[in-house]
Structure 1
Amino acid sequence: PAPPQLSPKDQKEWNSLQKKAEDSSQQVYFHPDVRRKPKPEFEGERNPTTGETGGPKNDPLRHGDYSYGGRVTDF
């Protein structure tokens, strides 16, 4: 069953409040732990330093660990 109908005055007020709530929720908030990925070291598919084609855009061993975008992978 549907909820009971509101009076036209109450419905108008409810619609107004809904619109106001939707407009204020359009702002985007990011968690403080979110980080941007590092800028690629080269453009294109071929790494000019190693000659590798289709590999990672950044050196994963830069900090001594296999890390991508600040996250270390373990294998």
Structure 2
Amino acid sequence: MLKFTRRTYTSLNRAGPLPLGNKAQQKEMLDLIRKKQATTAGDTSLHQDAPKKVEPEFKGDVNPKTGEINGPKNEPVKHNDWSFGGRVTDF
């Protein structure tokens, strides 16, 4: 005969650490997580592996090469491929 164990944790339905059996350890862990989140909330630096933002080719609203007004700041076709935000797309 098979015996099934039913979990009644409501926190398993959302992202986060699994609950510990010891309430004191659980409280300590949650306090450490909240403290870490509070210290990194104001940090706006990106991870070292994050892609860098593509710099615009010109400043202002008028493209000096084409004379286009309010157009894209970077040429979308480079190396015979369309690129958006530094990523190349293929159709």
TM-score bin (small chain)? 0.5 to 0.7
Which structure has greater strand proportion? 2
Higher relative contact order (CA 8 A, sep 6+): 1
Aligned residues: 63
Correspondences of 1:14-33 after superposition (within 5 Å) = 14=27, 17-25=29-37, 26=40, 30=47, 32=49
Q: Deviations over 1:6-29 (max 9, x none)?
A: xxxx78x93x64332112233777
Equivalent residue letter for 1:55 = G
**What is the Cα-based RMSD across aligned positions, in Å?**
3.1
Query: What is the TM-score when the length of structure 1 is the normalising length?
Result: 0.57
TM-score by length of 2: 0.49
State how far apart, in whole Å, the 1-side matches of 2:75 and 2:53 are.
13
Gaps of 5+ in 2: 1-22
Aligned-partner Cα distance in 2 for 1:38–1:74: 19
Identity of aligned residues (%): 40
SS of alignment partner, residue 24 of structure 1 = helix
Distance 1:70 1:43 in 2: 18
Counterpart secondary structure, 2:78: coil
